[in-house]
Amino acid sequence: MLRLITTRNKIQKCQKEFEARLKKLLPYKKKLDIGFQGGKITNEVFYNDNLWYSTLILRDADIPRYWNAFGLGKRKDGNQIIVVEINPPIEGSTRQVAGIFAKDEITNDYFILHRGKIGGGRKGIGKERFKNWYRGKWVQVFDDKGNNEEAIIISSITSKNLLLKLTEFVNEVAKFKESIANKHDKRTIKNVEKSLSFNPEFYGKKKGKRKSIFEYDSNHGMIVNALENSLRKRLKQNQRTFNNSLIDLAVSDGKRTLSIYEVKTRSDSQSIYTGIGQLMFHSSGDDKIARFLVLPNDTYDSQFLSILTTLKIKLIKFAINGNEIKFIA
């Protein structure tokens, strides 16, 4: 279970570690002008070729908070453009700011999350629309009173892929805003029913050190994005990819769905059964839809592989190697 961090000293500790890691991972720094609605500020910016980051402590704001601003690519001229802010409060909890720190009570890992509240002052940009559009993972976060809320899990603070996951998240927000600006939201389809889930049995064998389940879940968005990028290069002119909050990824020719992909970041039996159920449910009534289950590059027993063949589900494995995600058919 993820427990919301609300005390001043623990939030401060998380923020300091988050800042320190980003400042170490981003090789360049420079004082630059950063634009926002109604003005600009000059502040130190840490950056690489793809991402920039800047931080402040807004003690005198209506809601005192840590300001963590992110953008894509340092501009040579003009103000830097903020794509998204991940701003946890200095103390306590309020849904008026989007940033959250939370602790996995089993592994004691600390995570950075976002409530999905996307601003920008443009009509159509908001949490509900972004929730249906976003490819990443939403999880439940609980406070000390047992109240819970949904938030996007971005990464554990100490993850070796922290920068990659943050860059993916910022890219997704930028694409979402662009889709609204162009009035062309390609990821939304109508009339999709709720997905199925099943009870667990044994299938996959994990390789390597056991991680927090939430660390696996935080990989979901970047794996789906990498798969989409790979697929898009091979599509015919009349084909396109799409997804929504229930379908990880699919391909359409504009008239019908051609294939669907379900990505699971863990190879435990619950994840596998759920993935199979989702694929069968969303392709029901159309045997021509190709079904793909995307799982970690683990070892799977022959009975499981035989069942997939019987169900006409193809297995794709993925492996994360640094900043690269490889797919194995």
pLDDT tens-place string over residues 24-35: 999 999 999 999
Residue 8 shares a structural domain with residue 57: yes
**With 60 as the cut, is the pLDDT of residue 132 above it?**
yes
Q: Quote the pLDDT of residue 208.
A: 41
Contact 179, 134 (CB under 8 A): no
Q: What angle do CA 111, 115, 117 make, to 5 degrees?
A: 145
Q: 133: buried, middle or exposed (CB in 10 Å: 19+, 13-18, 0-12)?
A: buried
Residue 19 shares a structural domain with residue 143: yes
Tell me whether residue 191 is in a domain.
no
Which tens digit of pLDDT belongs to each residue from 227-244? 998 998 899 888 998 887
What's the sign of the alpha-carbon dihedral 96, 218, 188, 123?
positive
Domain of residue 263 covers 204-328
Tell me whether residue 273 is in a domain.
yes
pLDDT confidence of 212, banded at 50, 70, 90? confident
Tell me whether residue 186 is in a domain.
no
Tell me whether residue 281 is in a domain.
yes
Sheet with 28-36, strands from edge to edge, namely 80-81, 28-36, 39-47, 51-58, 65-72, 84-85
Both tokens of 270, joined, read 């619950």
Weakest mean pLDDT among 64-73, 145-154, 202-211: 202-211
Q: Quote the pLDDT of residue 275.
A: 94
Which tens digit of pLDDT belongs to each residue from 150-175? 999 999 999 988 999 999 999 989 98
Which tens digit of pLDDT belongs to each residue from 105-129? 989 999 999 999 886 556 657 788 8
Tell me whether residue 152 is in a domain.
yes
Residue 266 shares a structural domain with residue 310: yes
pLDDT confidence of 320, banded at 50, 70, 90? confident
Domains of the chain: total:
2
Percent with pLDDT over 90 in the chain: 57
Q: Quote the pLDDT of residue 193.
A: 30
Task: Give long-range contacts, CB 8 A cutoff, 24+ apart: 175-184.
Answer: 176/118, 176/125, 176/130, 176/133, 176/134, 177/83, 177/118, 177/120, 177/122, 177/125, 179/133, 180/122, 180/123, 180/124, 180/125, 180/129, 181/122
Q: Residue 181, Cα to own-chain centre: how many angstroms?
A: 22
Of residues 275 and 287, the one with the higher pLDDT is: 275
Residue 12 shares a structural domain with residue 153: yes
Q: Quote the pLDDT of residue 103.
A: 96
Backbone phi, psi, residue 135, to 5°: -90, -15
Q: What angle do CA 163, 166, 169 make, to 5 degrees?
A: 150
- CATH code at 238? 3.40.1350
Return the closest-CA partner of residue 253 out of 268, 235, 267, 269. 235
Tell me whether residue 193 is in a domain.
no
Entry pTM: 0.74
Residue 175 shares a structural domain with residue 245: no
Tell me whether residue 195 is in a domain.
no
